[in-house]
Structures are given as structure tokens and as C-alpha cells.
Amino acid sequence: MNKLALSAAVAALALSPVLSQAAHADDSTPTYGANVNPNWQDNFFVDGQLGQTQARTSLLDHNNSVFQNVRFGWRWNGIVGPEIGYAYLGRPKADIGDGFASLSAKARAVTIGVNAKYNVYQNWFVTAHAGYLRSQTKFAYSGNLGGDYTTYNNGVFAGLGVGYDLTKNVSVGLNYDDYRINSGNSTSANYVGVGRNRTNVAAYSASVEYRF
């Protein structure tokens, strides 16, 4: 029995450095907050989104359209910071007079706001952003009295996402964004029959982010 106990003790002593190294290796891979980076120069990013928008308005019948968005920003400690962006919100339209004419509204927006990213488990993360936008909406009416008119208005936006870090610098994600835009004015009603409107544009997209 004493020889068995002595052998076990010797084996334990021999394996202790290996077990200690393995334990430290596990500790070096956090299960959350893996994106935390105190080096401010590593926390710039560019993000591209591609997907579909849905204009939630009764003014236009064909509400679905292409969504494109490019964002550039920075995050303090890799978690939260400012961003700027440019979004194409699609071109929904409506048929008028049994298809003899149509009305379309092409909206774009420059955005500025705050964004956040946090790894909830290893490479998986959640994101959020919100802020102010300046939109440009081009109305186009085709028909006997066809005409175009462009308006500029203010609004707000917000969004949530979930994604996965492929590498230290590259991530992919799925996102939902909502843009509340004001379009038209009293003058546009005289040109294309559209007065001032407030529209929520929902955007569903996939994204790729690159961190410098």
C-alpha cells in the first residue's frame, strides 16, 4: 500500500506542471467579453450590410426593396463608441390608375450615432446601434402629369444584431434595423401629390465587419 501511495504521489508531482499549464490555457480563453481590447488603435471598424427593406406605409403598395448600408466607427475597449454611415433604403412604389402610372420613393440616409458590440460566449456576440439620420427622398411619378421631386428631412434609427467572429479581425452577422424617416413636404404635394409623411423602414440584412 505504501509503495502504491508513493507511486501515486510521484506521478502527481510529475503531472502537476502539465495540469497547471492546461488550466492556465483554459483560463486564457474567456467565455464572454472576448472582444475587449484596450488598444485604441485596434478598435476601428468598417461594416457592410446587404439585405431587404420593408417600408411600413399605406402610401406605397410594393414595399419591399434592396437594403445596402456601410458603416465606419470606433469602439472604446472594443465595446462601445461612435459611428457614421450611409444607407440605401430601397425604392418602394405604388401602381396608380390600374397600372397606367406609378409613384416611387427612393430614400437614402446619412447616419451618425453610437454602436456597441459584446461577445456573450467565446466568438458569439450581440450588437446594437442607434442615432440620428439625415434622409434624402426622391419621389418619381410616371403618367400624363409625370414629375420628380426631392426632399431632405431628419429622423432617427436603431438596430440589433447577432454574429460570430471568424478571426480576430473579421466577423459575420445577421441584423434588424429600423429607420424612422420623414419624407415629403407641402411643396412636394403640388408636384407629385405627396405631402409630408413619417415612415418606418424595417431592414433585414447580413453583414461583414472588418476591424483594423
Tell me how far apart the alpha carbons of residues 103 and 184 are, in angstroms, rounded to a whole number.
13
pLDDT confidence of residue 40: 64
Regions of the chain where pLDDT drops below 70: 1-35, 37, 40, 58-62, 95-100, 143-146, 184-196
Tell which residue, 114, 109, 108, 116, has the closest CA to residue 161: 116
102 grid coordinates: 406609378
User: For the whole model, what pTM was predicted?
Assistant: 0.74
b/e per residue, 148-163, with b = 16+ CB within 10 A?
ebebebebebebebeb
Structural Rg of the chain based on CA atoms: 26
According to the 3-state scheme, what is the secondary structure of 64-94? EEEEEEEEEEECECCCEEEEEEEEECCCCEE
Residue 156: C-alpha distances to residues 14, 66, 97 (Å): 63, 20, 34
Tell me how far apart the alpha carbons of residues 178 and 180 are, in angstroms, rounded to a whole number.
7
pLDDT confidence of residue 7: 44
pLDDT confidence of residue 18: 38
pLDDT confidence of residue 9: 40
